[in-house]
Amino acid sequence: MLSNDEQLARLALSSAFEPGDESIGALVAEFGPAELIDRLRTEPNEPDLGRFGRRWQSHNWLQDAAIELERALDDGIEIISPGTPDWPTQLDDLHERAPLVLRKKGPLGLRQAASRSVAVVGARAATQYGVWVAEEMCAQLASAGWCVISGGAMGIDAASHRGALALNGPTIAVSAAGANLAVPASNHSLFARLFAEGAVISEVPIGANPNRRRFLVRNRVIAALAPVVVVVEAALRSGALSTMREADAMGRMLCAVPGPTTSALSAGCNELIRSGGATLVRNADDVVAEVLRVSDDPGSLAQNAATINLFEQRVIDLCTPRSMSVENIAQGVGVSVEACTATLHLLERSGFVMRTVKGWRATSVGPR
C-alpha cells in the first residue's frame, strides 16, 4: 500500500498538471511524487522544473487533493496509482506518459479485468452497421469473459459497452471527464450501469470537465490497457485512428473490422487493413484468436495446444460448431455436469471455448 502522502501527492500533481505530459512524468520518475512537490514548493524557479514551478505556486493543489480524497471516500471512488494492488502494470508501457493516478468508480477490479481485456474503439458518428458489429462482438467477448475497454463516448464506444453489459460482462470506460461524471450526458443510463456493474476510470480529478486535449490523451490509456485494440468504424482522420497509432507505438496488436468501400466511416479501417497495419477481424472469435496469438501468458494458445488431452478435445468437439448446454456436453462425454463444468472453465481460460446464451461453444481458435 502507498503512504497517504504519496497518494495525496499524486492526486495533487494530477490536478495541477494536465495528464499525459512527458516532462512531468519524467520529473515524477526522477524524484518521486512527494519529493517533487517539495521541490516545486521550495525551489519553484529551479530550471529543471521548467514552467511547472510557477503553475504549482499558483494554487494550493495539496488542499484540492485532500478534498478530492475525502470526496472519493464518500462517493466510493477508488484511487489507483502505481504500486497499489489494483494498478494495471501494462500502463507502465506508457513510461513517462503513464497516468500519475487513476480514479475509479464501479465494482470491477481494474487490474484483474484488464488482464483479460480487449479495447474496442470507433467513430462517434457510427453507422447502424458499425453499432451492430460493435454490440455483437462485445457481447460475444463478454460472454467469453473478456473485459471490453472503451471510451464511454457516443457511437462505437457506447455500443461496445452496451454489448458487454447486455450479457452482464465486464466492461471499463476510460473517461476524459471526472470518473464520477456521465459524459456525454446522452450516455447517462449507460454510465449508470457502468458505475453499478463495470467501472469508469479517469486520470483527471473527480468532477473535472473534459476538453479536446483530454479526449486525445485519454486514448493512450485505452490503447495501453489491452493487448489488442479493435477499431470497428473510423474515418481516415479520426480519434479512433489516433488511438490505433498509440497502440501500435506500444506494440499492441491492431485489429480492424472491414466495411463497405463506399462508407467514409469504414475508410480508416479498410486503409489500416490494406496497409498491413491491422488484421481484419469479423467477430469475437477472430479477436480472441489474435489475443491468444500475441499473448505471452502461460495460458496462451501456443502452450495449451500441446497439453490439451483427449477428453478435453471431445468436450471441444461436442460444442463445435454450435453452442451446447453443459448438460448435453456432460452427457456426450459421459461425465457429471460438475466435472464437465470444471473442464469447460479451464478450456475457456485458454480460449478454446466461450460461454454463449445457449451454453458453450468452441471458439475458432482450436482447429487452427
Interface positions with a second copy (CB under 8 A): 129, 132-133, 257-262, 266, 270, 273-274, 279-283, 286
- Yes or no: say if 319 and 360 are a contact pair by the CB < 8 Å rule: yes
- 359-362's contacts with Cβ under 8 Å and 24+ in sequence apart are 359/319, 359/323, 359/324, 359/325, 359/326, 359/328, 359/329, 360/319, 360/323, 360/324, 360/325, 360/326, 360/329, 361/319, 361/320, 361/321, 361/322, 361/323, 361/324, 362/316, 362/317, 362/319, 362/320, 362/321
**142 vs 273, beta carbon nearer a second copy:** 273
Rounded to a whole number of angstroms, the minimum distance from the CB of residue 262 to a second copy is 7
- Yes or no: say if 16 and 36 are a contact pair by the CB < 8 Å rule: no
Rounded to a whole number of angstroms, the minimum distance from the CB of residue 228 to a second copy is 15
**230 vs 315, beta carbon nearer a second copy:** 230
Rounded to a whole number of angstroms, the minimum distance from the CB of residue 274 to a second copy is 4
- 37-40's contacts with Cβ under 8 Å and 24+ in sequence apart are 37/9, 37/12, 37/13, 37/62
**138 vs 183, beta carbon nearer a second copy:** 138
Distance CA 265, CA 203 (A): 29
**201 vs 354, beta carbon nearer a second copy:** 354
Rounded to a whole number of angstroms, the minimum distance from the CB of residue 170 to a second copy is 24
**45 vs 261, beta carbon nearer a second copy:** 261
Rounded to a whole number of angstroms, the minimum distance from the CB of residue 350 to a second copy is 22
